[in-house]
């Protein structure tokens, strides 16, 4: 558990008084760090905690650039005072990695992955998997996600929400025949933890529907896709972008199953939601335009497809 510094004790009274101004909070964190440096010096664990508190606050405000120096200061102090392999030091490394560029983050996450804290190691391994996935290295991502899953199971048990998250990540970079049972296991966990109607449950259902479709199990894909769409509708609303994504995915399954009317309704619904949520020129909206235009061409309505394709950037228009 993270130790609390005096700065946070002072802030408790401020928070109880109402919703404070972020700029005022930032000043309080900065003043707290300055006092620690003055009282205890620049190489004291209490100074490191104040630097960490400031950095994490700035990260929470979305200011990664401002957070990095404070989190780097905390890491440097703890490396010196506690040692480079201390759990607290490795937690600092993970915090700094979370606000760093991929190139700078990778060695920090690699260090954090060696933590004796299984939950912290799982987080770091999952982050390394995400970096490999973003680089197009699915095999490398899968290797890290497998290790993250093992550490998460050690930390929280095999039936935890965290394990479901790790299973989902691994399934999406694995081959469908391996990914399907992983997602089925994740879905069973999420239904037990969150219930039948929850965004986490619906997310896994949507992903499972996609893998079932890729494996040629179209009827199952449709059934699971309908459950995902209903889950998002019930929990996030009829006009939420994730509802749009589920509608589009269900459209793919219905199209493969020969229900062309149902597929078209899904594609048009996804487009309408994303146009309202993002505007006509957003990448998500244009992806919906491509999907619907492709469907229209496939079903012999080239003129309608062409009218839609005029909305696409020239370089992105179908050849």
Query: What pLDDT, on a 0 to 100 scale, did the predictor assign at position 228?
Result: 98
Contact 106, 128 (CB under 8 A): yes
Contact 170, 142 (CB under 8 A): yes
Contact 179, 172 (CB under 8 A): yes
Q: Which helix (H) or strand (E) holds 195?
A: none
Query: What pLDDT, on a 0 to 100 scale, did the predictor assign at position 4?
Result: 42
Q: How far apart are CA 260 and CA 69, in angstroms?
A: 56
Query: What pLDDT, on a 0 to 100 scale, did the predictor assign at position 21?
Result: 87
pLDDT in tens, 118-128: 999 999 999 99
Contact 247, 282 (CB under 8 A): no
Positive or negative: CA dihedral 279, 281, 286, 292:
positive
pLDDT in tens, 33-62: 999 999 999 999 999 999 999 999 999 999
Query: What pLDDT, on a 0 to 100 scale, did the predictor assign at position 313?
Result: 86
pLDDT in tens, 21-33: 899 999 999 999 9
Ranges of residues in the chain whose predicted pLDDT is under 70: 1-19, 315-319
Contact 266, 226 (CB under 8 A): no
Contact 164, 156 (CB under 8 A): no
Radius of gyration for the chain, computed over Cα atoms and rounded to the nearest angstrom: 24
Contact 15, 22 (CB under 8 A): no
């Amino acid at each position: 558990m993270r130790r609390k510094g005096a700065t946070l004790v002072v802030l408790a009274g401020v928070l109880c008084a109402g919703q404070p101004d972020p700029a005022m909070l930032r000043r309080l964190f900065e003043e707290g760090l300055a006092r620690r440096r003055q009282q205890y010096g620049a190489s004291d664990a209490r100074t490191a905690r104040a630097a960490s508190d400031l950095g994490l606050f700035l990260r929470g405000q979305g200011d990664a650039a401002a957070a990095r120096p404070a989190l780097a200061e905390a890491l440097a102090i703890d490396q010196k005072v506690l040692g480079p392999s201390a759990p607290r030091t490795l937690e600092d490394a993970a915090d700094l990695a979370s606000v760093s560029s991929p190139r700078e983050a990778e060695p920090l996450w690699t260090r954090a992955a060696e933590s004796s804290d299984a939950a912290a190691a799982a987080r770091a391994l999952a982050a390394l998997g995400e970096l490999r996935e973003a680089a197009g290295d699915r095999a490398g991502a899968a290797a890290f996600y497998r290790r993250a899953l093992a550490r998460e199971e050690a930390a929280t048990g095999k039936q935890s929400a965290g394990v479901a998250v790790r299973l989902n990540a691994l399934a999406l970079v694995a081959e469908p025949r391996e990914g399907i049972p992983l997602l089925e296991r994740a879905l069973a966990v999420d239904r037990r933890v969150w219930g039948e109607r929850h965004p986490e449950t619906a997310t896994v259902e949507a992903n499972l529907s996609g893998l079932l479709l890729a494996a040629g199990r179209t009827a199952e894909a449709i059934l699971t896709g309908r459950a995902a769409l209903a889950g998002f509708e019930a929990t996030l609303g009829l006009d939420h972008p994730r509802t749009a994504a589920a509608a589009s995915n269900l459209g793919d399954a219905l199209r493969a199953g020969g229900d062309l009317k149902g597929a078209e309704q899904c594609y048009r619904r996804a487009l309408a939601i994303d146009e309202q949520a993002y505007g006509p020129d957003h990448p998500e909206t244009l992806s919906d335009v491509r999907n619907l235009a492709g469907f229209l061409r496939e079903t012999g309505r080239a003129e309608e497809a062409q009218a839609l394709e005029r909305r696409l950037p020239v370089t992105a228009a179908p050849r």
